Structure 1
Amino acid sequence: MEELLSRMVGYLHGMWRFRWWGLTFAWIVGIAGGFVIYSMPDRYESTARIFVDTQSVLRPLMSGLAVQPNINQQIAILSRTLITRPNVEKLITMADLDLEVRTPAEREALIAELTGGLEIVGTGRDNLFTLAYQDAHPERAQRIVQALVSLFVESGLVGKRQDSASARRFIDEQIAGYEQKLAEAENRLKDFRLRNMALLGDGGRDYVSQMNELSAQLGQAELELKETENSRDSLKRQLAGEDAVLLSQPENPAAVALPEIDGRIDALEKNLDGLLLRYTDDHPDVVGARRVIAQLEEQKQKEIEAMRKVDASAPWVPNANPVVQQMKISLADAEAMVASRQARVAEFGSRLARLRASAELLPKIEAEQTQLNRDYEVHKRNYELLVARRESANISVEMTTQGGITEFRVIDPPSLPNKPAAPNRVLLMPFAGLIGLAAGIALTFLLSQLRPAFDNVRSLREITGLPVLGAVSLVADPVRERRRRRGLLAFGGGVAGFVMTVVGMTAMVQLLQG
């Protein structure tokens, strides 16, 4: 630490020897800096403030129906990406700056100047943006800021419309693609069902259900066939004479049955019983019914007598019995029913055999059907989802068109400045004085290093590496002391004058700007 302090003291002694050089150079640099600052052209700043209202009443009302983009994030990105070359070129046209440009080089310089000078500053969560630009002409600065405000609002609205249109166009393309995929999947599923209709059935029954149903139908048909065969065999036994009572000649001719007349008599007797429950024996309806019954019985007796008179000497044969004739008719019907039931049993058996023969194809068919159904369901679900998204996008576009989502409000229109905003001479003047002092100090240090000297015995011994036998000191006299004091006063006065000059120039500039 002592060595470091000793070295610092040595540097200060060396710089002190060239203090007048440093002071003179500080004055030169300070005065030159003051003139440069004073001669800098004034620049006027025009500003405008825009508030972006993203808290719309429609947003919570349309939640779940319309797409809700992150408006705050979009506005923040817009504020950071608005100043681009295409937008700056559009701004030049909007502010009529292209009238001042004659060559491509001037146009490039103007674009570079605007790109570097335009400012968009946001306050963050409040969505309040300040647009500013500085120019040598206040009217020109105001026109540029006005064009920037229009460009900011237009870019926000056009960007949302472009995003919505692009989203709808993309969704429409996807819907068209999925419509084609869905139609192809439906056709594949239809062709598969047509090819495997026997195994798939009507769609509500699987292979096992069909097997069970066919087995039950076959069992029912076999049972009905057996019943019909039993009935047929019973009729055959009766006609073969196994039932003697049925085929013997009746003792009472009146017991011979005539189906047609007997049926009419039975019907009239039932009707007569009903009439007797309501009327007396003398009622005309009762008398009429009894008269008709008597006529039918008389007709029946005449027909029996006519049958006997045809061949009175011939023995009675079963074929002459109407009951036998009716039994033969029933037997023929039974034979036809047996044939029909046998055909049904054969058909059900054939179907069941075909299903059993196709049992080994069942796993493959089921796997293929599962795959087809899965593809169809996926395409259908995506298609319905895209259609719902398209409707949501349409609602969002309508909301944007009506201006219900985001509203740009110009809080402060572009101002026409009457005082220069730059350069800040009040701040630059002290800064120029500090630069002058720093330049003077740097010059004294440089000269002390170019023309070094030894101010003590120790530094001489350390640098030369030789022993120092002694040192001769300077004896100060009164004249030399007065001269040293006057030099110190003059140097202090020079430094104080420099500081006072900087302060005076700063005050003068502030007075002129105020």
Structure 2
Amino acid sequence: MQEQLDNLIQYARGVWLKRRYALIAAWIICLLGWSVVTLLPNQYTANARVYADTRSILQPLLRGLTIETDPSQEVALMVKTLLSRSNLETIARDTDADIRATNNEEYEEILEDLKTNILIRSAGRENLFTISYSGDNPRYVRDVVQSALNVFVENALGEKRQDTDQASQFIASQIEDYEARLLKAETGLAKFKQENAGYMPGSEQNYYNRLEQLESELESTQLKLREVRTQLATARGQLSNERALASKNMSSIRTEYDERLDALETRLDALLFRFTEKHPDVKETRRQIVDLKALKSESQQSASALGGRGDSLFNDLKLFIRQLENEEASLKVRVASYNEKLAFLSEKLAKMPQVEAKMTNLMRSYDITKNKYEELLSRRESALISQSVGAAADDIKFRVIDPPRVPTEPSGPIRPLLLSMVLVVGLGAGTGVSFLSSQVSPVVTSANQLYQATSLPVFGSVSATEQSGVVKKNKRRTIVFTVIAVCLILVFATYMAMNLIPSLHSRLLSITELL
């Protein structure tokens, strides 16, 4: 630690011995720096404060009727896009800054200056913003801030109207598209209903009821048919018995034709023994036999009718059988009709799930299209109301709290601070020059330093006396250094005074411009 401290002391002594270099460097740097700071053009700053009022008394009343937007987000977006190129070009045109540009490079420099120096920031309260711009022309900076303020307000209103118009146009085109699609869906649905009138969803219950009713009627008719058939079989059996009984009774009755029939049959047997069936005598004999049998039958029936009640019962049975046969035929027709109807209903019920599935698909597509169409109609009404409301009252109202004014006093540069910084830099640079000079051509200032430089033992040191003149010379040098340093401080004070007194500084700048 002691060694490091000794080294620092040696460095300080070396700098002190080369102090003239420090003064020279400090004077050169300070004079140049102070002159540059003094001749810097004044910078003027214009400010404007604007409040974006996003609250509207109509918002609660129109909630759900108009297109709802977030005004705070719109304001934030406008703040971010204020310094876009199109807006900067508008500001340049409004302030005639573009006229000063003689080529594209100068024009780009003007836009870059506007982009760099136009500042918009929050003023510590929600939706309260400050727009500022700094430049060397007071009127120009005021015009720039005013133009930026106008662009900020007009963009909000213009973008809102433009967005509303674009939304209305888009919704109108979508409505036309969905209207055509809805008409096509309605036409297809109506055609499908016409082609499948009996298969529509909801009619299956009627079909099932009719099917159950037909099955019940068919079962009843089939039962009645079986009953009729049983009665018919019984009646026919009874009629057959009556006929057998009647034949037996009739065969026991002898008539006048029996002997002649016996003779003809005997003659027929003899003829057949000799001739064929085609012989005329055979044919004649057979005809006679048939005629005699008919006459015999009539004679027996007459005798039977005169003899009892058998003929009346026989006729009643025949009439009853005829009625049963008619009823059986009618029941058969009804059964066939019921079977056809059952087959038709079964076919429809089998086809109905396919029709219902297709109908469901058509209805789903139709409902989606219809819902979208109605939603677009509702949104169009909301857009129209929003346009009407936008024409009567804006969602965002801008209130200029502090309009921009022509600055009367410069806002910069901060010359006292810059002058002080130049002084510090000058003194630091001078000290550095002295240190480098002491390192390039070092001077021994102590016995320890001499020992370190020569590695020879040092037994003592001889101090300067008054007679040698070294002490006077060192005092004179110290006085000169002090005077020159004080003069530097006085010059610094002079520059500081010139920059702190506006009238004096303005006069100095005017003289400089004339020169």
Q: Do the two structures share a fold, i.e. TM-score over 0.5?
A: yes
1:473 aligned residue: 461
- Within the candidate set 213, 218, 230, 1:217 is matched to 213
SS at match of 1:411: strand
| Deviations 1:393-413 (CA, angstroms, capped at 9, x unpaired) | 333333322223111122222
> Structure 1 regions of 5+ residues with no counterpart?
237-330
Give runs of aligned pairs for residues 68-467 of structure 1, distance below 5 A.
Answer: 68-123=68-123, 125-186=125-186, 201-206=199-204, 209=205, 212-222=208-218, 345-355=338-348, 358=351, 362=353, 369-452=359-442, 467=455
| Deviations 1:275-319 (CA, angstroms, capped at 9, x unpaired) | xxxxxxxxxxxxxxxxxxxxxxxxxxxxxxxxxxxxxxxxxxxxx
Contact 2:23 2:485 in 1 (8 A): yes
| Structure 1 residues 451 and 339: alpha-carbon distance in aligned structure 2, compared to 1, 3 A threshold | farther
Q: So what's the TM-score if we normalise by structure 1? A: 0.67
| Structure 1 residues 443 and 400: alpha-carbon distance in aligned structure 2, compared to 1, 3 A threshold | farther
What amino acid is the match of 1:393? A
SS at match of 2:132: strand
> Structure 2 regions of 5+ residues with no counterpart?
233-323, 505-515
Contact 1:142 1:414 in 2 (8 A): yes
2:29 aligned residue: 29
| Structure 1 residues 356 and 181: alpha-carbon distance in aligned structure 2, compared to 1, 3 A threshold | closer
Contact 2:451 2:458 in 1 (8 A): no
Contact 2:45 2:407 in 1 (8 A): yes
Contact 1:231 1:334 in 2 (8 A): no
Contact 1:211 1:352 in 2 (8 A): yes
Contact 1:53 1:407 in 2 (8 A): yes
Contact 1:146 1:414 in 2 (8 A): yes
| Distance across 2 between alignment mates of 1:34 and 1:180 | 80
Contact 2:54 2:72 in 1 (8 A): yes
| Structure 1 residues 19 and 386: alpha-carbon distance in aligned structure 2, compared to 1, 3 A threshold | farther
SS at match of 2:116: helix
1:261 aligned residue: none
SS at match of 1:410: strand
Contact 1:54 1:406 in 2 (8 A): yes
Q: So what's the TM-score if we normalise by structure 2? A: 0.67
What amino acid is the match of 2:423? G
| Distance across 2 between alignment mates of 1:148 and 1:217 | 87
Contact 1:224 1:341 in 2 (8 A): no
Q: Does 1:502 align with 2:492?
A: yes
| Distance across 2 between alignment mates of 1:424 and 1:44 | 12
Contact 2:193 2:200 in 1 (8 A): no
2:270 aligned residue: none
Contact 1:118 1:131 in 2 (8 A): yes
What amino acid is the match of 2:31? I
| Distance across 2 between alignment mates of 1:482 and 1:218 | 148
Contact 2:47 2:133 in 1 (8 A): yes
What amino acid is the match of 2:211? S
> Following TM superposition, by how much is the alpha carbon of 1:458 offset from its aligned partner in structure 2, in angstroms?
6.5
SS at match of 1:65: coil
| Distance across 2 between alignment mates of 1:229 and 1:458 | 150
CA RMSD of aligned residues (A): 4.4
| Structure 1 residues 41 and 347: alpha-carbon distance in aligned structure 2, compared to 1, 3 A threshold | same
| Deviations 1:36-67 (CA, angstroms, capped at 9, x unpaired) | 12222223333322221111111222223323
> Following TM superposition, by how much is the alpha carbon of 1:487 offset from its aligned partner in structure 2, in angstroms?
3.4
| Distance across 1 between alignment mates of 2:225 and 2:66 | 74
| Deviations 1:423-468 (CA, angstroms, capped at 9, x unpaired) | 3323332232223223223323343444455656777887x8x854
1:46 aligned residue: 46
| Deviations 1:363-397 (CA, angstroms, capped at 9, x unpaired) | x6665555544444444444433433333333333
| Distance across 2 between alignment mates of 1:449 and 1:369 | 103
SS at match of 2:49: strand
1:326 aligned residue: none
Contact 2:215 2:342 in 1 (8 A): no
Higher alpha-carbon deviation: 419-428 or 480-489: 480-489
| Distance across 1 between alignment mates of 2:435 and 2:167 | 69
> Following TM superposition, by how much is the alpha carbon of 1:13 offset from its aligned partner in structure 2, in angstroms?
3.5
| Distance across 2 between alignment mates of 1:132 and 1:32 | 32
| Distance across 2 between alignment mates of 1:344 and 1:459 | 141
The number of aligned residues is: 418
| Structure 1 residues 338 and 496: alpha-carbon distance in aligned structure 2, compared to 1, 3 A threshold | farther
SS at match of 2:50: strand
SS at match of 2:149: helix
Higher alpha-carbon deviation: 188-197 or 374-383: 188-197
| Deviations 1:481-512 (CA, angstroms, capped at 9, x unpaired) | 44434434443444344334323432332223
> Following TM superposition, by how much is the alpha carbon of 1:75 offset from its aligned partner in structure 2, in angstroms?
1.4
1:57 aligned residue: 57
> Following TM superposition, by how much is the alpha carbon of 1:216 offset from its aligned partner in structure 2, in angstroms?
1.8
Higher alpha-carbon deviation: 54-63 or 445-454: 445-454
Larger radius of gyration between Structure 1 and Structure 2 = 2
> Following TM superposition, by how much is the alpha carbon of 1:156 offset from its aligned partner in structure 2, in angstroms?
1.2
